[in-house]
Structure 1
Amino acid sequence: MNNLWLKKVLPHVLAILVFLVVAVLFCKPVLDGKTLNQHDTGIEGWRGSAQNAFDVKEKTGTMPLWSTTVFSGMPNYQIAMEGKSALPVDLNKVFGLGLPKPMNFFFIACVCFYILCVVLRFNPVTGILGGLAFAYSTYNPLIVSAGHETKMMTIAYMPFLLAGLLLIFNKRYWIGLAVATLGATLVLMANHPQIAYYFFMIAGAVTIGYVVVWIRNKDFKHLAISFGLSAVAALVGLGCYSLAFLTTKEYKEYTMRGGKSVEIKGNEVKAVNTKGLDPDYAMSYSMSMIEPIIMFMPKAVGGSSGTTLKEDSKVIEKLAAAGVPEMQAAQFASQFPAYWGGMVSPEYSGGPAYIGAVIFILAIIGFVIVKNQLKWPLLIISVLAIMMSWGKYFFGFNEILLNSLPLYNSFRAPSMALVICQLTLPLMAVITVYSLFFEKNSGDFLKENFKKILYTLGGITAVLALLYIGQGYSSAIDEQIIQMQIDPNGGDTLNRAIIAGMKADRQSLFGAQVMRAVLFMALVLGAVYAVLKNMIRPAVAVAVLAAISIIDLWVVDKQYFSDDHYVAKDEIANQIEAPTAIDQEIFKDKDPHFRVFDVAGMDKNRVSYFHRSALGYSAVKLRVYQDIIERYFAGAPNEQILNALDVRYIITRDESGQERLVPNPNAYGAAWFVKAVKPVATEVEELQAIGSTNLKDTAIVPQSALKSGSNLTADSTSSVALIKYTNDEIEYNASSATGGFVVLSEVYYPAGWNAYIDGKQTDIVKTNYFMRGLVVPQGKHTIKLVFEPETVKRGMSISYLSSWLLIILVLGGFFMQWWVDKKKAAHGV
């Protein structure tokens, strides 16, 4: 009995050890006390925006709900949030065996895909092949290196959730419910909605495939049970995620991703009514039509945007032929990117979404010869993902998706859709391997289909040859090069020489990638042929393919995830925690309210780390603030707007790039009474009026926001003073003999901010398009603003209750499956 149990468990333990060893070796600098220098989570990324929240928690013991340091204020629960859970452990640490970052990301991805293979009843060596290929697909190291950890964690848990659904669909109801519930929670709690959305598209395709079979077999009872259990798993997972889900859903309606009511082009503003992101913005980071082939050939379109032309570039030859000295020609060439895909300036490609040549070849073979229930759903959703990745280069189709798919218009970066293929193609590859080598009668299946395999590989080769011969090797960047002033004598001869040289480079590189692909096809064919002729055992062949696959991925990955990406932890700390001389100067100002405007601070959160910034970086800025940025900060910032934001310090740079601090003594302060209120009828009028109005004296408000009979003209002795300023609570003392209208230098956000005058709630008036205002009665009063969003309270309660349901369903599901299996064994079933 014990030997039988050991025989069953030992292969899985060995698989886990393989995943552990590979993860440790892949991230070896961590063992030397180093950490990744992640640009998107460093001081200019997430860390810069979140530091204020950590500082507040250290002082008060509680994470604030509102941030005062990014874009003059936004909900902090979109940056850093803590919830309440009944779970006794951190599930990420459990799945990751407590490994440090980034080892844990790759290890978890391996294990989750391996679990999917176990559920499909594949043998361990097949699971190892799939697990390594899935985890080390090049897109994963790319996003980990950039600091997109929530994206990576969501990707890592996708196979685990799919495993739970497949258990349910294959009538392993109890354990399926447990795994699916846990999987749904892990995927959603990883908190990357776009990746989760792509997974649910995969799950939807797979579900439809099963439903067709159930209906054909008239198995309506199983259909109902499967839908019911899947719905329970989804609801519990959504319940655990409810704090983030409810707050994000509410916040989205007030952001760039919720649509817009005005459109800004330079100084012109017009009324519109759109939902979701603008199509142009949503379609940014689209792949050219040829580009998805990088899943098979990593440098087919040049690698990353940061890779420049090589020293042997044909550009040098073409320029030399046009009369440019060779040394000068080489300098020219070194300035141009080798990348020629669809994501050219101002967009950027960090590297290829390479899934491995071995995996891609096996998947294509599988789509041709394998008969499996998952085949057609995986093929259809993979093709759809490629079409989605084309974005603006296949606009008609993708515009339909933007307008018809629920929530889809809230996302951007169509290239990210290849995450779908990152799961579907490795899954199809392991299905192919198992069908060819390990399934019952696999020997006969291999003999029957060997010619089809040959034809498939021949077809792939023919397609690649046609692509090599038939395409023009043009890129959108060519137009930019034509516009450059290169020849001091005028004309575009040198421009065209550069483009001709770049096209020659592109063709040469593409040809080399085709030869590389043919080599890998030969290796796969050799392994298949060796098994067919009984030269090696199937397990050995798959082990060899797994080794080739991980070596191939490793070599490509390390071009974008090398040891150079690691730095000493002390060095990171010094970079982040060391204020500059300008920071030290600003620290001297002890006023709790003023803001800092860094002219070069858009898309950077460095100022936010130390000060209250009027700019910063967030992928989901408030819509009204984005409108201000587009209308009044696009060129030289509007002084009235800066003053109204209480910007007391402006950081500029001289010609040498040296930072310079410019004090702004005209900042209006935290709040002020105005002499007049100007009602306007439309948001267009609001936005335009604030640019030509003395906002110290006059407030621009919507006509509909004011109640008749209110006194809005304050006397000359009226005053308002800030007496308390924290993230979630602000207090002022106001005094006016006649009453009047007070403008607060705070960003307008109606979903959670409440105002109280002497303890009695009063309306907050949208003022100056993006600020808050209050009608204050005569006399002396205490004004209090409190950020108390109901969605946070509701989400906290639901998530806590759901965490208990998660524990019950997971433990209960595993117990009940054990009980059912025990009874079946007792009856000899």
Structure 2
Amino acid sequence: MNNSWLKNALPHVVAILVFLIVSALFCKPVMDGKTLDQHDTGVIGWRGSAQNAYEVKEKTGKLPLWNTNVFSGMPNYQIAMEGRSAIPVDLNKVIGLWLPKPMNFFFIACVCFYILCVILRFNPMVGIFGALAFAYSTYNPLIVSAGHETKMMAIAYMPLLLGGLLLIFNKRYWIGLALATLGAVFELMANHPQIAYYFFLIAGAVTIGYIIIWIKNKDFKHFAISVALSAVAALVALGCYSLAYLTTTEYARYTMRGGKSVEIQGNEVKATSTQGLDTDYAMQYSMSKVEPIIMLMPKAVGGSSGTPLKEDSKVVEKLVETGVPEMQAAQFASQLPAYWGGMVPPDYSGGPAYIGAIIFILAIIGFVVVRGPVKWTILAVTILSVLMSWGKYFLGFNQFLLDHLPLYNKFRAPSMALVICQLTLPLMAVLAVHTLFFAKDARQQLTLQFKNILYTLGGITAVLLLLYIGQSYGSGFDQQIMQMQLDPNGGDRLNRAIVAGLKADRQSMFGGQVLRSVVFMAIVLGVIFACMKNWLRPVVGVALLAVVTLLDLWVIDKQYFSDDHYVYKDDVQVQVTPTAIDQEILKDKDPHYRVYDVAGMNSNRVSYFHRSALGYHPAKLRLYQDVIERYFSGTPNEQLLNALDVRYIISRDQQGQEVLIPNSNAYGAAWFVKAIKTVSDDVEELQAIGITNLKDTAVVQQKNIPAGLQISADSTATVKLVKYTNDEIEYEAESATGGLIVLSEVYYPAGWNAYINGKPADIIRTNYVLRGLVVPQGKHQIKLVFEPTSFKKGDNISYLSSWLLIIIVLGGCFLQWKTDKKHPKADVTIGE
């Protein structure tokens, strides 16, 4: 009996078992019945915004398209969406072996990177090493802990898609097409466009490297086939993603990411015209010039913004020297952050994007010892990611990218660009290990390259020493310290003492991290030297590096992803138990009213139970954001609250306890106005709604008023809400003269249609952010329906594309099997 297949499969089975065991140990509280308490989304985050939609689905069998519980209304398909698919199972669950969250995230990341290594014909131990390093890079636990699950899934699938492209580029066309298509679908369907964008920069760099080879070898036929198959994979993946893509692209035009027409500074409003995010907003969460070194040295700039100074801080010593009592000095110092990178308040660093010292060191060695032009394009995109991460600290360059790089102005948080390094550096690290230990000429390469390795490690050490010596150790936070009034006698003596102590702490911290890096360089060099001298077998050496790397990452990860981040499921339910105030509001069974929580910005707790006028979503409607900035940033404007039908206000007393304030002046779901105030543009309209009695007068731009419209006051006119659901609203209106009805619903032109007695009618943007409707005299039935064509079109395309995906994956695997039976398998390389 031939057991060769079992022998070949055994290392991969071992790898899967390793990934399972590590993920289970890393997420052990899940095995004890606990769940993550994810502070950014979690139950009262994303779930709060989606709760109403799921309640509707429970009653009707499908998710609604409009969400009534966040920001007075927005498309629900930006929060929770479902469409048709020919694929009968959730492929994410299949590849994650139905593991519970968050175990599945780390397991999937390991599997995808391991598949990439298998495609490259690496030794299984190299694949295990690289997979563990990639999956447990510290940024991953950070974002999982925060609840950014789509981001984690998009990161996890990057190696799978890259592997499919490499198969195509190395003439394994059929299996490459199947895997590239599947990987692209996974990547896009993770639905985190910014991570996908970074991956496509990596893919572009790798492709350029191969194009150089193809042109050099005059292999134009292969060039054409590779481009064509890659395009097919991309198109089918886009087809599968079209439901999310079409709706999101349509929605983005009306959000903060689509630009703005007004500039708001306090009470002043000016006209402007921008595309994409504002530069200041896009450049939030920028890294200082030295900060990307955290990929090698996790505590180089102090860790996270929430990490306090140590008890032996030099700040205490400096303050004591000025005469401050030691206890008072220690108490003050304990409130200062150890973090001194570029993300100063109100920006916040959740922790370092640490990829592992050994991985970083091996990657730099890889750029020296790995052959072929592709390594240079990978190096180029790696450097690009560092420059992008600097954001506002390298504004000239990054402003150029915002203005000229397609779609880049839709994203913020430049620090996220280091996700590129999170794939490129582990990839170069395993390429270095393969080249030195397992390639056909590995023994020769190891001997020839050893001197270059020494020079490389020496160069890294020299750079770190120069950074240690040459820095000022200043931070933007120091300016905030200097502006504090600390000395009751005036002057800045205490301020300067604090800053001097902080700089001394930072230098000491950075120096300790340099020494730490030197230790890891010694470990890498020791393993390489031992393997060169045959004191260690290469497999043992790589296993040793893998263990040390995993332990290193584990220690750092657990500082930001400890067992304390888990809670029992019963405790989670406590978070969504209605308070006494919630219960009081819920006694009101009227289908239409809203709740305004003065502390509700960036929180969806109220949205879990009520139709909230505030909430959290990363892409708010631009019109609504303008109203928030102009009228809700301080004491909310009473007219706007009434127009939004805010019947209940949740405030806080002097003790911080919630207080319910009923608002009997709310205008209700709809009302006839007695007059129209015409304005010329967005600036005038936004300013006018704050000083106009919106119950009697509607503010409308001249260009939006139907020709010949005359409004006369009709004291007998009535409008009554008959039906109110997420996607359909019905009214009965009666007026002797006809007139303009203002609807207390957010204006959104892409999908909401109005019908009067069954005939289409135009919805007019009214009061800057609301809907208006001209109604003729008499009694009429009015119906508003949310029926976006983007959803219907996207759903149809996605469904058809899911069939194409099945055909390509199954057909590609079958055709590759037939091809491999006739011809030997071609080696897959990174462009050597």
2:75 pairs with 1:55: no
2:566 aligned partner: 566
CA deviation after TM superposition for structure 1 residue 679, in Å: 1.7
The answer for the alignment partner of 1:647 in structure 2 is 646
- TM-score, normalised on structure 1? 0.99
Letter aligned with residue 140 of structure 2: N
Whole-angstrom CA distance in 1 between matches of 2:573 and 2:648: 26
Corresponding residue number in structure 2 for 1:242: 242
**Structure-to-structure mapping, 1:261-660, within 5 angstroms:** 261-576=261-576, 578-660=577-659
What letter is aligned with 2:423?
L
Q: Which one-letter code corresponds to 2:651 in the other structure?
A: T
In structure 2, how many angstroms separate the alpha carbons of the residues matched to 1:212 and 1:275? 35
After TM superposition, give the deviation of residue 404 of structure 1 in Å: 0.6
Aligned-partner Cα distance in 1 for 2:44–2:289 = 34
Greater shift, 565-574 or 378-387, is seen at 565-574
1:779 pairs with 2:773: no
Q: Which residue of 1 aligns with 2:124?
A: 124
Q: Secondary structure at the match of 2:261?
A: strand
SS in 2 for 1:223: helix
**Offset at residue 488 of structure 1 (A):** 2.1
Question: Which letter does structure 2 place at the counterpart of 1:6?
Answer: L
Tell me if the contact between 2:301 and 2:339 (Cα under 8 Å) persists in the aligned partners.
yes
Q: AA paired with 2:715?
A: S
SS in 2 for 1:649: strand
Would the aligned equivalents of 2:167 and 2:176 in 1 still touch at CA under 8 Å? yes
Letter in 1 for 2:705: L
2:52 corresponds to which letter in structure 1?
N
**Deviation (angstroms), 1:799:** 0.2
Q: Is the 1:43–1:605 contact (alpha carbons within 8 Å) kept by the matching residues of 2?
A: no
CA–CA distance in structure 1, aligned partners of residues 134 and 778 of structure 2: 68
1:602 Cα deviation after fit: 0.5
User: CA separation in 2, counterparts of 1:7 and 1:605?
Assistant: 53
Equivalents in 1 of 2:597, 2:629: separation in Å?
16
Q: For the residues of structure 2 that align with 1:47 and 1:89, how far apart are their CA atoms? A: 23
- Per-residue CA deviations over 1:11-41 (Å, capped at 9, x if unaligned) read 1111111111111110011110100000122
Q: 2:44–2:575: 8 Å Cα contact kept in structure 1?
A: no
Name the SS of the counterpart of 2:615 in structure 1: coil
- Once residues 708 and 523 of structure 2 are traced to their aligned partners in structure 1, the CA distance between those partners, rounded to angstroms, is 84
Q: Does structure 1 conserve the Cα–Cα contact (< 8 Å) formed by 2:208 and 2:374?
A: no
Counterpart-to-counterpart distance in 2, 1:485 and 1:796: 59
Tell whether the 8 Å contact from 1:713 to 1:741 is kept in structure 2 after alignment.
no
Mapped to 2, the partners of 1:822 and 1:89 lie a distance apart of 31
Distance 2:165 2:634 in 1: 52
2:149 and 2:303 map into 1 onto residues whose CA distance is: 22
Asked whether 1:761 is paired with 2:760, we answer: yes
- For 1:713, the equivalent position in structure 2 comes to 712
Per-residue deviation, residues 221-244 of structure 1 (Å, max 9, x unmatched): 111100110000001111101000
Q: Which residue of 1 aligns with 2:224?
A: 224
Greater shift, 263-272 or 393-402, is seen at 263-272
**Using the alignment, how far apart are the partners of 2:809 and 2:176 within structure 1?**
9
Q: Secondary structure at the match of 2:440?
A: coil
Alignment match, 1:33: 33
Amino acid in structure 1 at the alignment position of 2:481 = I
Deviation at 1:373, TM superposition (A): 4.4
User: In structure 2, what is the equivalent of residue 144 of structure 1?
Assistant: 144
Report deviation, 1:88.
1.6
Q: Which moved more, 1:87-96 or 1:163-172?
A: 87-96
Q: Which residue of 2 aligns with 1:744?
A: 743
Distance 1:64 1:825 in 2: 53
Counterpart code for 1:624: L
Instruction: For residue 823 of structure 1, report the CA deviation from its aligned partner.
Output: 2.2
Please give the per-residue CA displacement for 1:559-609, whole angstroms capped at 9, x wherever unaligned: 000011111011111222x11111011011111111011111100010000
- Partner Cα separation in structure 2 for residue 666 and residue 463 of structure 1: 67
Deviation at 1:825, TM superposition (A): 6.0
Amino acid at match of 1:702: Q
After TM superposition, which residue ranges in structure 1, 4 or more long, deviate above 3 angstroms?
none
Whether the 8 Å contact between 2:130 and 2:430 is mirrored in structure 1 is: yes
The CA RMSD measured in Å over matched residues stands at 0.9
Partner of 1:74: 74
Aligned to 2:175: 175
Cα separation, 2, equivalents of 1:692 and 1:603:
27
Q: Deviations over 1:522-557 (max 9, x none)?
A: 000000000111111111100000010001000000
Letter in 2 for 1:310: K
User: TM-score, normalized by length of structure 2?
Assistant: 0.98
Q: Distance in 1 between matches of 2:516 and 2:707?
A: 76
The more displaced of 149-158 and 12-21 is 12-21
Letter in 2 for 1:472: S
Contact 1:714–1:739 at 8 Å: present in 2 too? no
Q: What residue identity is the alignment partner of 1:205?
A: A
SS in 2 for 1:773: strand
Counterpart code for 1:543: A
Q: Which runs of 5+ in 1 are unaligned?
A: none
Number of residue pairs matched? 825
User: Does the 8 Å CA contact 2:313/2:501 hold for their aligned counterparts?
Assistant: yes
Structure 2 stretches lacking a partner, 5+ long: 826-832
What do residues 367-419 of structure 1 show as CA deviations (whole Å, max 9, x unaligned)? 12221343112111000000000000000000000001111000000000000
TM-fit CA distance, 1:44: 3.4
| Aligned equivalents of 1:531, 1:193: Cα separation in 2 | 43
Query: Residues 711 and 739 of structure 1 are in contact (CA less than 8 Å); yes or no, is this contact kept in structure 2?
Result: no
Q: CA deviation at 1:710?
A: 2.5
Task: Report what 2:731 is aligned to.
Answer: 732
Instruction: Give the structure 1 partner of residue 828 of structure 2.
Output: none
Q: Is the 8 A contact 1:677 1:713 kept in 2?
A: no
Deviation at 1:495, TM superposition (A): 1.1
Secondary structure of 2:690's aligned partner: helix
Per-residue CA shift, 1:742-764, capped at 9, x if unaligned?
00000000000000000000000
Deviates more, 1:189-198 or 1:492-501: 492-501
Contact in 1 for aligned 2:212/2:373 (Cα 8 Å):
no
Q: Distance in 1 between matches of 2:773 and 2:503?
A: 62
**Is residue 284–residue 412 contact of structure 1 (8 Å, CA) maintained in 2?**
yes
Cα distance in 1 for partners of 2:227, 2:112 equals: 23
2:632 partner amino acid: F
Q: Which amino acid aligns with 1:728?
A: D
Deviations 1:601-650 (A, max 9, x none): 10001000000000000100000000000111111111000110011111
- Residue 43 of structure 1, CA deviation: 3.8
* Equivalent position SS for 2:273: strand
Q: Alignment partner of 2:742: what SS? A: strand
How far apart, in 2, do the equivalents of 1:824 and 1:688 lie?
73
Conserved? CA contact 2:369–2:435, under 8 Å: no
* Inter-partner Cα distance in structure 1 for 2:624 and 2:772: 16
- Helix, strand or coil for the counterpart of 2:311? coil
Structure 1 contact 48–609 (Cα < 8 Å) conserved: yes
Which amino acid is the alignment partner of residue 255 of structure 1? T
Contact 1:740–1:778 (CA<8 Å) still a contact in 2? yes
- Per-residue CA shift, 1:288-315, capped at 9, x if unaligned? 0000000000000000000011111000
Specify the code of the residue in structure 1 equivalent to 2:484.
Answer: M
User: C-alpha displacement at 1:5, in angstroms?
Assistant: 1.2
SS of equivalent to 2:337: coil
